[in-house]
Amino acid sequence: MSKVITAKNLKLGYKNEDIIIDASFSIKTGEFIFLTGASGSGKTTILKHLYGELKPKDGFLQIGNFDMNKISHSKLLYLRRFIGIVFQDYKLIKDWTIEKNVKLPLIIAGIKEEKAQKKVDKLLAKVKLTHKAENYPYELSGGEQQRAAVIRAIINEPVMILADEPTGNLDDFSAKVVMDLFTFANQLGITVVIATHHLPKDFSIPYRNIHIEGKKLYELS
């Protein structure tokens, strides 16, 4: 199995503060990772580095074939085409219908309209949102919007999905729909990295748990 992520002696943080120190780990293609840790421990900080929004303060971080310390802006944009994200500050586009929002990655990838529509219909049905296809994000509940955001992240079958607290504010039904969608994506071979406060109960597929405590990473399972 090839490695999607290799980190060696990483130091991550902000100008005046180190958040993660001396972190070494690798993540292989197709693995399912839960990144856990208390509030403020650095989960979002790590995900932002994995998406290239932030650069390491020290150490080595490779995503795919790219050294994230040295990656150019154009290569970063290229790399991101293979990464699906569910981040709090990456909301659905408010002037677009749900259908158009979730179809966007397919349009960018140059998929033909008929094929794109079929895929959109299939996934909207899977998360019980068919009846909201023509609605705008503000007309959906938080849980419904999040289900649409997760479809947008997986619809183009990226190499890796990064999700930050994707079930944080959801009721049990939406949380289960969202986790089922990540499970489905993982079964297609997509690497999934989810930051969360709590591991889901009765999770049905094998996973790893990387835990942050005292600025260090630990492998819990």
Per CB under 6 A, residues contacting ligand ATP are 14, 17, 19, 37, 39-45
Cβ 118 to ligand ATP shortest distance, Å: 36
Cβ 117 to ligand ATP shortest distance, Å: 36
Is residue 44 a contact residue for Mg ion (CB under 5 A)?
yes
With CB under 5 to 8 Å by kind, the binding choice for 218 among ligand ATP, Mg ion, none is none
48: its two tokens: 């932002």
Cβ 40 to ligand ATP shortest distance, Å: 4
- Which residue, 61 or 120, has its beta carbon nearer to ligand ATP? 61
With CB under 5 to 8 Å by kind, the binding choice for 2 among Mg ion, ligand ATP, none is none
Cβ 41 to ligand ATP shortest distance, Å: 4
Cβ 165 to Mg ion shortest distance, Å: 6
- Which residue, 15 or 131, has its beta carbon nearer to ligand ATP? 15
Indicate the angle between helix axes 142-154 and 172-187, nearest 10 degrees. 0
CA nearest neighbour of 25 among 5, 2, 53: 5
Is residue 36 a contact residue for Mg ion (CB under 5 A)?
no
- Which residue, 81 or 91, has its beta carbon nearer to Mg ion? 91
Q: How many residues are there in the chain?
A: 221
Contacts to Mg ion from residues 199-218, by CB under 5 A: none
- Which residue, 12 or 129, has its beta carbon nearer to ligand ATP? 12
**DSSP structure string for the chain:** --EEEEEEEEEEEETTEEEEEEEEEEEETT-EEEEEE-TTSSHHHHHHHHTTSS--SEEEEEETTEETTT--HHHHHHHHTTEEEE-TTSPPPTTS-HHHHHHHHHHHTT--HHHHHHHHHHHHHHTT-GGGTTS-GGGS-HHHHHHHHHHHHHTT--SEEEEESTTTT--HHHHHHHHHHHHHHHHTT-EEEEE-SSPPTT--S--EEEEEETTEEEE--
With CB under 5 to 8 Å by kind, the binding choice for 191 among ligand ATP, Mg ion, none is none
- Which residue, 42 or 84, has its beta carbon nearer to ligand ATP? 42
Contact 180, 172 (CB under 8 A): no
- Which residue, 43 or 49, has its beta carbon nearer to Mg ion? 43
Cβ 43 to ligand ATP shortest distance, Å: 4
